Amino acid sequence: MKTNNKAARIAGFFYFLYFVAQITSDLWRDSFIVLGDAAATARNIMAHEGSFTVTAVGDLVTAALFFLAAWALYVLLKPVNKNLALLFMLLNLAGVAVHFASGLNLFAALLLLNGPDYLNVFQPDQLQALAMFFLDLQHTGFSMAQLFYGLWLFPLGYTVYKSGFLPRVLGIVLMIHCLTWTSTFFQVFLFPGFEPLHFVSWPLGFIAEGALTLWLLVMGAKDREPA
């Protein structure tokens, strides 16, 4: 059972790093972006180009950390149900792939604002508008990844519920979180004006995944065999 406990703490460690990297990168990057004002956004980015680049790299590191957390959870929960454990890891991997691809748009924005000479054929305001377009495209790509990030929570929650060495309540909350987070994905693309759903899905997300992270990191796995 020491192997289980070690896998649980590794999963919690990677999950915790993912949370820190994601929140830090998003908040730091958002501080440069002025909604609807491409010129002001471009000035902010070029005035702090190094910092913006760090947030772009941080976005890619975030995706890698999330997959590492899913891998550690797969190792931990594979004895409970190998097929479901593989399913949630593959769903996570699909979300990470979309997340990672969307991060390329941040570097595209940087290239447009501080790129090679052949971009001189464009006027500065055109380059600024294109950079803003790629920033918006990155946000759209990240929102697309949320479909997989939502779906992976159900098989994860079910295996946690059935494990016998993790609290069942964590599994129940994760499965409920799957429904709210997946609904948020459809809301973003189909009903963009209906935002009250965020007041449920975001807090529940912090509770569900935050509680799982803390339990894995602090408590590890119970010293008993899976049910």
Condensed to tens digits (0 to 9), the pLDDT of residues 21-78 reads: 999 999 999 999 998 899 999 999 999 999 999 999 999 999 999 999 999 999 999 9
Q: Where are the domains of the chain?
A: 2-219
Per the model's pLDDT, the better-predicted residue between 198 and 57 turns out to be: 57
What single DSSP character describes residue 194? -
201-215 pLDDT, tens per residue?
778 888 889 899 999
Of 134, 127, 84, 73, residue with least CA distance to 108:
134
What is the average pLDDT across 168-177?
94
Distances (CA, A) of 19 to 62, 66, 106, 186: 8, 9, 20, 23
* 227, pLDDT greater than 50: no
Distances (CA, A) of 37 to 33, 41, 157, 186: 8, 6, 42, 27
Q: In one letter, which amino acid is 11?
A: A
Q: Which two tokens stand for residue 191?
A: 């009903």
What is the average pLDDT across 181-200?
82
Residue that is written with structure tokens 């792939």 in the block: 97
Predicted local distance difference test score (pLDDT) of residue 225: 52
DSSP-based three-state secondary structure for 38: helix
Of 74, 141, 72, 135, residue with least CA distance to 101:
141
* Nearest-angstrom CA–CA distance, 60 and 25: 10
Q: Which two tokens stand for residue 163?
A: 């494990």
123-164 pLDDT, tens per residue?
989 999 999 999 999 999 999 999 999 999 999 999 999 998
How confident is the prediction for the chain on average, in pLDDT? 90
Predicted local distance difference test score (pLDDT) of residue 221: 72
* Nearest-angstrom CA–CA distance, 25 and 56: 8
pLDDT band, very low/low/confident/very high, at 122 (cuts 50, 70, 90): confident
Task: Identify the weakest region by mean pLDDT among 94-98, 105-109, 200-204.
Answer: 200-204
* 196, pLDDT greater than 80: no
Helix (H) or strand (E) holding 117: none
Predicted local distance difference test score (pLDDT) of residue 116: 76
* Nearest-angstrom CA–CA distance, 122 and 52: 23
Predicted local distance difference test score (pLDDT) of residue 226: 46
Query: CB 195: neighbour CB atoms within 10 A?
Result: 11
Predicted local distance difference test score (pLDDT) of residue 129: 94
Q: Who contacts 171 (Cβ-Cβ below 8 Å, separation ≥6)? A: 157, 158, 159, 160, 161, 162, 163
* Nearest-angstrom CA–CA distance, 141 and 103: 8
* Nearest-angstrom CA–CA distance, 112 and 122: 10
